[in-house]
Amino acid sequence: MLLFGAHMSIAGGVDKAIDRAEKVDCDAVQIFTKNNNQWNAKPIPPEQVERFQQRQEEAGIRAVVAHDSYLINLASPDDALWEKSIDAFRVELERCELLGVPYLVTHPGSHTGAGEDFGIQRVADALNRIHIDLPGYRVMTLLEITAGQGSALGYRFEQLRAIVDRVAEPERVGYCFDTCHAFAAGYELRTPEGYAETMDAFDRILGLANLRALHLNDSKRELGSRVDRHDHIGAGMIGLAGFHNVVNDPRLEGLPGLLETPKSDDLHEDAENLARLRSLVGAPRPEE
């Protein structure tokens, strides 16, 4: 079975994300390691690192994933923004290494009109530079499939593969599969046949062995819309039948499956979405 969880706020300290995850019975959690809307990052105090790791063990959180800031664009043709993005991503990897978080998810970025080939090379060049700067790091970068909105890269499995093919240390890069993004990008998930075709393509092009995390989000928009709008599980265009395919795929056993769905302060939506996902495991297939 997947390790079900959700993205949690780090307001009040990174350890508070574990408290929030425990409140809704998460097996896994995703966090930002810093304020997502700012370039600067305050150092994480040693006592907060210790509390984070202690609380993770106490709460039985079996997998932790981080997501980088949405300000970062490793594909940017703007040299100043590219350099700033490289510096910021390096800091995010350093923070993950400090916390003991094994995976850092990133969107491959947007080429903003410079072309896909340019953007793909730009991401690979950025990762190569960062890897040289941070030798021996355990944390792995996870390239996330995107919806392909605007000039965003990563909406085809082939684009993700093209980036990794140009990385000198490909063993330091894996993948994150977002259900909403993949569906919006045109990958069918709703029918057993469509889901099988999508995951077979993923395995053939990227390798399921390199899949390290999933984002479990329904989609407000239709198949192939190229629009990234998350919805609650079963409330969107993918529907419960699509998530039944995902949560009952034995090849995904043990991977973190993380919600990035809308929520309020009491987190009741996360509790409801997690219960809905767990109810599909081993259950009869819902009607489409």
Query: pLDDT of 6-63, one tens digit each?
Result: 999 999 999 999 999 999 999 999 999 999 999 999 999 999 999 999 999 999 999 9
Mean per-residue pLDDT, 174-199: 98
Q: What's the fold here for domain 3-280? A: TIM Barrel (3.20.20)
> Residue 7, annotated ligand binder?
no
170 secondary structure, DSSP code? G
Instruction: Examine the pLDDT at 288 and tell me if it is beyond 70.
Output: no
Say what percent of the chain tops pLDDT 70. Answer: 100
The count of residues in the chain is 288
Nearest to 189 by CA among 228, 219, 232: 219
- SS3 (DSSP) at 31: strand
> Residue 249, annotated ligand binder?
no
> Residue 131, annotated ligand binder?
no
Instruction: Name the pLDDT band for 287 (thresholds 50, 70, 90).
Output: confident
- SS3 (DSSP) at 204: helix
> Residue 181, annotated ligand binder?
yes
Instruction: Name the pLDDT band for 176 (thresholds 50, 70, 90).
Output: very high
CA distance 144 to 148: 11
Contacts of 157 (CB under 8 A, 6+ apart): 145, 201, 202, 205, 206
Instruction: Examine the pLDDT at 192 and tell me if it is beyond 70.
Output: yes
> Residue 107, annotated ligand binder?
yes
CA distance 222 to 88: 34
pLDDT digits (tens, 9 = 90+) for 194-246: 999 999 999 999 999 999 999 999 999 999 999 999 999 999 999 999 999 99
